[in-house]
Amino acid sequence: MNTSEARQLPLQGLKVLELGQLIAGPFATKLLGEFGADVIKIEPPGTGDPLRKWRMIEDGTSLWWHVQTRNKRSVALDLRSEEGQDLVRKLAAEADVVVENFRPGTLDNWGLGWEALSQLNPRLIMVHISGYGQTGPYRDKPGFGVIGEAMGGLRYLTGQPGEPSVRVGVSIGDSLSALYAVIGTLLALQERNRSGLGQEIDVALYESVFAMMESLLPEFDASGQIREPSGSALPGITPSNAYRCQGGDYVLIAGNGDSIFKRLMGVIGRDDLANDPALAHNDGRSQQAEMIDTAIQSWTAERPRDAILQALDDARVPAGYPYTAEDIAFDPHYLAREMIQTFTRPNGKPLKVPGVLPKLSATPGRIGDGGPTLGQHTDDVLDELGIDHETRAKLRQAGII
Catalytic residue among 59, 174, 258, 327: 174
Neighbouring-strand partners of residue 19: 100
Rg of the chain, C-alpha, whole Å: 25
Kindly provide the b/e burial profile for residues 106-132, where b requires at least 16 CB atoms within 10 angstroms of the residue's own CB.
ebeebebbbeebbeebeebbbbbbbbb
Instruction: Give dist(CA 287, CA 279) in Å, integer.
Output: 9
Residue type, 380: D
Q: How far is CA 305 from the centre of its chain?
A: 31
Please give the DSSP secondary-structure letter assigned to residue 42.
E
Q: Are the beta carbons of 91 and 387 closer than 8 angstroms?
A: no
Q: Judging by DSSP bridges, how do beta strands 319-320 and 250-254 pair with one another?
A: antiparallel
Residue 16: how many other CB atoms lie within 10 Å: 23
What dihedral do alpha carbons 259, 263, 269, 275 form, nearest 10°? 20
Q: What is the 3-state secondary structure (H, E, C) of 209-258?
A: HHCCCCCHHHHHHHHCCCCCCCCCCCCCCCCEEEEECCCCCEEEEECCCH
Nearest residue to 71 via CA among 128, 14, 4, 129: 14
> Which residue type occupies 271?
D
Give the span between the Cα atoms of 195 and 190, in whole angstroms: 9
> Is there a catalytic annotation at residue 174?
yes
- Annotated active-site positions, please? 174
